[in-house]
Amino acid sequence: MIEWSFRLILTGIELTDSDLDALFAAGCDDATFSRERDGSIHALVDRAADSPETAVLTAIVEIEAGAHIGARVVRATTEDDRLTAAEIAERLGRTRQNIGQLIRGIRGPGGFPAPIARQVSPNPLWNWSEVAGWFQAYDPASVAVDDGPKISPDFLAEVNDHLDLRERRRNFPDAPWRPKLAEALPLVS
């Protein structure tokens, strides 16, 4: 088994001592829970499993169904998933100017991933999984360094798509556009 490290962002709980006890009893003894400055609750998980998919999905199930405390996972990321443009440049061995040009579409094929946080800040944050996936298509040699098994950015993107859709359906259960949307844009399988 391999140990997979990832972060889950939760909602629906206050992170009391009884919440922590329930999470531990549900099997989350391999996670550290914290309340961040913005009030969000994070679980840093180091889980041994045969695959990253098993590690992430079992942690989500244990948090949501196993603990019985009303917690919901709203996002899954890897530990080092949020980076500034300068950190992206450093990680890829490029200049900040080069990364800035790629972000603005002055160089490269365009379509650089949008920032995931602090979009209007002078230092927005990008999701490393999305950036690495973009570079994998644009310049595979720049992200070819392999220092061990990784959780697939595509897998995390699909998990997050499901989590986002679930929250949207929870917040708008009888949305009038849903039947039209399903008919016009059927999901492929």
Look at residue 25 in the predicted model and tell me its pLDDT: 95
Measured between alpha carbons, how far is 184 from 178 in angstroms, rounded to an integer?
10
- State whether residue 136 is helix, strand or coil: helix
Q: pLDDT tens, 35-65?
A: 887 788 999 999 999 999 999 999 999 999 9
Question: How many CB atoms neighbour CB 115 within 10 A?
Answer: 19
Measured between alpha carbons, how far is 173 from 189 in angstroms, rounded to an integer?
24
Taking the model in full, what pTM does it have?
Answer: 0.69
Q: pLDDT tens, 88-115?
A: 998 888 999 999 999 999 999 999 999 8
- State whether residue 101 is helix, strand or coil: helix
Measured between alpha carbons, how far is 72 from 49 in angstroms, rounded to an integer?
22
Strand ranges of the sheet holding 41-49, from the earlier edge strand across to the other edge: 31-35, 41-49, 2-11, 72-77
